Chains A and B, each alone.
Chain A
């Protein structure tokens, strides 16, 4: 099942709608990699609200997406990890070290807005 990727300004929003197979996740990785270049995205939001399991493969793939995006000049925020999913990840020993996370899409957008402001000041 393909993950829809929306574009809003400089931000790409990938909103996962249902349980994803490993192949779906790898497709998302490829698609986002392409779209970042196509639309010159500066920011990527991955919304995992609908995901009921985040196992080691999914975590590793999402980490890979975020690191790849960063190398291409876009920052990734992972949003919507459900509380029980977060708990299972901790038990498994998984983390998203170095990747921004936010409670939900709204918080993720707020985070990027605040960060965008800081970037403008730094420039």
Chain B
């Protein structure tokens, strides 16, 4: 199994590093090029949200293996201002940051499982899982 890793997200370039690591991990696990791209794109959205809204944070990348299923686990977390209204933030086209508002709802569509927890003043954690078909 490829090793787990963590990418600190502090500068814009770290967004590129995080998505490239995600792609490498997915490739090492045998994901198709399309699935690698979907995962890398989801990571890109989450890492950018960290820079834009929290300033800094991290993306952790891990391999998953449960009852014969393999996949990747991505955890993007920060100690930023948090999201006051998660329902609104998960809605397509909603943005407080002058963006397209597709980041969170879009990232959810690119993976198999998506969880988000956010506490105003404490931070935000987004967890993604994508399984090998």
A-side residues, CB < 8 A to B, are 19-23, 52-57, 59-60, 82-85, 87-88, 91-94
25 A-B pairs in the complex with CB atoms less than 8 angstroms apart: A19-B20, A20-B16, A21-B12, A21-B13, A22-B12, A23-B12, A23-B13, A53-B44, A55-B41, A55-B45, A56-B45, A56-B48, A56-B103, A57-B48, A59-B100, A60-B100, A83-B34, A84-B34, A85-B37, A87-B34, A87-B37, A87-B38, A92-B41, A93-B92, A93-B109
Question: In the bound complex, how far is the Cα of B107 from the Cα of A20, in angstroms?
Answer: 20
A87 to B106, CA, bound (A): 12
B66 at interface, CB cutoff 8 A: no
Main secondary structure of the interface of A (DSSP, over half): helix
User: Contact at A91–B16, with CB atoms within 8 Å?
Assistant: no
Partner of B100, one of A56, A88, A91: A56
Q: Are B37 and A92 in contact (CB under 8 A)?
A: no
Residues of B within 8 Å of A, CB-based: how many? 27
Contact call B13/A91, Cβ cutoff below 8 A: no
Q: A55 near B12 (CB under 8 angstroms)?
A: no
| Complex-state Cα separation, A20 to B16, whole angstroms | 7
Contact A92 B110 (CB under 8 A): yes
Which A residues lie within 8 Å of B19 (CB)? Answer: 19, 53
Query: Would A91 and B12 be within 8 Å (CB), given that A56-B100, A84-B34 are in contact?
Result: no
A91 cross-chain contacts in B, Cβ below 8 A: 38, 106, 109-110
User: Contacts of A88 on B, CB cut-off 8 Å?
Assistant: 34, 37-38, 41, 110
Residues of B within 8 A of A (CB): 12-13, 15-16, 19-20, 23, 33-34, 36-38, 40-41, 44-45, 48, 92, 99-100, 102-103, 105-107, 109-110
A59–B101 Cα gap in the complex (Å)? Answer: 12
Q: Which residue of B lies closest to A87 (CB)?
A: B34
Nearest Cβ in chain B — how far from A1, in angstroms? 10
Residues of A within 8 A of B38 (CB): 84, 87-88, 91
Q: Which residues of A contact B13 (CB under 8 A)?
A: 21, 23
In the assembled complex, which residues on chain A have CB atoms less than 8 Å from the CB atom of B45? 55-56, 92
A93 and B102 contact, Cβ closer than 8 Å, known pairs A53-B40, A55-B45, A55-B48: yes
Chain A residues near B92 (CB-CB < 8 A): 93
